Chain A
Amino acid sequence: MSHARLSPRQYMILGLVSLCAPLGDTCLSRGMTGLPDITLAHPATLIAAVFTPWIGAGIALLIGFFASYLTALSWADLTFVLPATAFGNVIVALLARFWLHEPISLERWAGILLITVGVGFVARGPSLTERPATESTIAEPVTIGKEQA
């Protein structure tokens, strides 16, 4: 499988990474603020919180995030995946502006612009470092921490 350019399915997985993390965090926040104060004296309330709809949805979305993040790391470089999935920050800001009608300062619009340009920049390049055919991709990471000969 060629890794230089991504397939539509791989772009979809990167999109899932970008979407699931901020949406999951938002669901957890929404669920936890709707609950009464939880204290260590009554830990069972924390377990009960897991089964409320918002928190359940948040956990499901975060599991989806981690699964798609691991999948992306299996066929793309870390230095490609991290900037490419930073677009989630922009999605949250745009949702806050157009759905929750929160004001966005000029600084934040500048941030949105910079992230969009950065993501567009990295997405146009190769997703995986090409290695010589003789070099095993399995053996490569095991050399981490070992001293170079």
Chain B
Amino acid sequence: MTIPYPAPQPGFWASAAMISAIILTSTAGEVLTAAAMKSIGDLDEIRAHSGLKGAIRAVLTCPLFFAGVSFLALAFFALLFALNHLNLSLVAPASASLTLVTNAIAGKIFLKENVDRRRWTSAVLVCIGVYLLAH
């Protein structure tokens, strides 16, 4: 009878690649979804004018929204793949906290958001906080 050994953990670069895949697909999904919602306009105002059906129609007829959701689905599968190879205690805090920083960078570059010192400080504080909480 052989005693099963625990599966060896992937090396540094393989782990970094898996976590990077989650962060990149998640960031792309968040940015595309945010761009879609900005292109649609204030949902509260649309609902006030066209009702709930009108608001749902406005979201479901926006191609950018489906691009965003597709990337978020990819991020979910990348997370499942990483969890198959790496420990949850590494993947969850690393991906959750770093995604906040990459979103701040992507928001500034692609969405032209005003990421001032207040938002940078907040993103970094929450990033460290999420890491400490989930680790």
Contacts and interface: CB of A to CB of B under 8 A. Distances in A.
Interface of A: 1, 9, 70-71, 73-75, 77-83, 86, 89-90, 93, 107-108, 110-119, 121-122, 124-126, 129-130, 137-138, 140-142, 144-145
B108 A79 contact: yes
Contact of B35 (A107, A126, A141): A141
Main secondary structure on B side of the interface with A: helix
26 contacts: A73-B33, A74-B42, A74-B44, A75-B44, A77-B107, A78-B34, A81-B34, A86-B126, A89-B129, A89-B130, A107-B135, A110-B129, A111-B133, A115-B129, A115-B133, A116-B129, A118-B123, A121-B118, A122-B122, A126-B114, A129-B114, A137-B38, A140-B112, A141-B35, A144-B110, A145-B110
A78 B30 contact: yes
Given A75-B44, A78-B34, A119 B122 contact: yes
B17 to A, nearest CB: 24
A107 B111 CA distance: 34
A90 to B, nearest CB: 8
Contacts of A74: 37-38, 40-44
A137 B39 CA distance: 6
Question: Which has the most chain B C-beta neighbours within 10 Å: A74, A129, A142?
Answer: A74
Nearest to A112: B133
Contact of A79 (B42, B123, B133): B123
